[in-house]
Structure 1
Amino acid sequence: MKKFLQEFKEFAMRGNMIDMAVGIIIGAAFGKIVSSLVADVIMPPLGLLIGGVDFTDLAITLKRATGDDPAVLLRYGAFLQTVVDFLIVAFAIFLMVKGINSLRRKQADKPAPAAPPAPTAEEKLLTEIRDLLKKETAEEGRNR
């Protein structure tokens, strides 16, 4: 599970075109879910509270239907529903961006790995002795 979350975090932090395309596709599907939430879950009780009104049916007739000419309607109810859709989608995207920014901040706030400790005086001395022995051994090999 930890690896899955790590992979998702890396995916969310990258900004390449494939990731953006995936985001657009998921966003379109999410938009349909939100539209259904607004139209089928939120608006019916809201309409009931204000007198059993279905928001999608709210309209002002600008011109009545005559013969073959259809009526001209100002459908402000459908507009209200679209505004509510937008507000919910905008809020959901805000929460998502806020979460991603939080992940980025946590990643940026991680302390840099500590530098290895400097060698002690004893280690330095042993290193010098080793290097001198190597040099001496190499010189003896050349002299033979």
Structure 2
Amino acid sequence: MGMLTEFKEFAMRGNVVDLAVGVIIGGAFGKIVSSLVNDLIMPVIGNLLGGVNFSALAYQLQPAVIGPDGKETAAAVLVKYGAFFQSIIDFLIIAFAIFMAIKVMNALKRKEEAAPPAPAEPSDEVKLLTEIRDALKKG
């Protein structure tokens, strides 16, 4: 079997295709959640806390260096804890959404597993052999 054929079998295997679809949908979902947090949730939280813009919250470790011509030669060194806070909220929302999706999937799976099929009735041969066994035990 050639390498190309093996690769084709690997790439077309169900798990690989499912994983690729999951990664693509996950990336799009991440963008949606980031927009939800950045554009809807954080402005409301910032407004409730007195007009705070979380993306601008930072601690300055070193100020920007301005050259003799008035232009910035080195950017300020900042610890951007506001952006970190937004990332934490992004993560919590994504984790909760995934938790809810898995919870729904598990509930559906439990419904499928709830009714196990009835055991099959023994064949005529098994019935006959059982009668012969029982007759030999008596006899």
Of the three residues 90, 111, 126, the one matched with 1:85 is 90
Letter in 1 for 2:100: L
**Corresponding residue for residue 50 of structure 2:** 51
What's the TM-score once normalised by structure 2's chain length? 0.69
Matched, 1:110 2:115: yes
Q: Following superposition of structure 1 onto structure 2, how do residues 22-37 of structure 1 map, counting pairs within 5 Å?
A: 22-37=21-36
Letter in 2 for 1:81: Q
Quick one: distance in 1 between partners of 2:15 and 2:64? 52
What's the TM-score once normalised by structure 1's chain length? 0.67
Which moved further from structure 2: 22-31 or 101-110? 101-110
**Corresponding residue for residue 62 of structure 2:** 63
Distance 1:113-1:17 versus aligned 2 partners, 3 A rule: farther
Letter in 2 for 1:63: Q
Could you tell me which runs of 5 or more consecutive residues in structure 2 were left unpaired when the two chains were aligned.
1-13, 67-72, 125-139
Q: Following superposition of structure 1 onto structure 2, how do residues 120-131 of structure 1 map, counting pairs within 5 Å?
A: none
**Corresponding residue for residue 129 of structure 2:** none
Could you tell me which runs of 5 or more consecutive residues in structure 1 were left unpaired when the two chains were aligned.
1-14, 120-144
Task: Name the SS of the counterpart of 1:16 in structure 2.
Answer: helix
Quick one: distance in 1 between partners of 2:75 and 2:41? 31
Residues 72-130 of structure 1: per-residue CA shift (max 9 Å, x gap): 011000000000000000000101111111121111112315746999xxxxxxxxxxx
Which moved further from structure 2: 56-65 or 98-107? 98-107
Name the Cα RMSD after superposition.
2.0
Of the three residues 77, 80, 85, the one matched with 1:75 is 80
Residues 6-37 of structure 1: per-residue CA shift (max 9 Å, x gap): xxxxxxxxx72211211111011000000000
**Stretches (4+) displaced over 4 A:** 113-119
| Identity score, percent | 55
Quick one: distance in 2 between partners of 1:102 and 1:109? 10
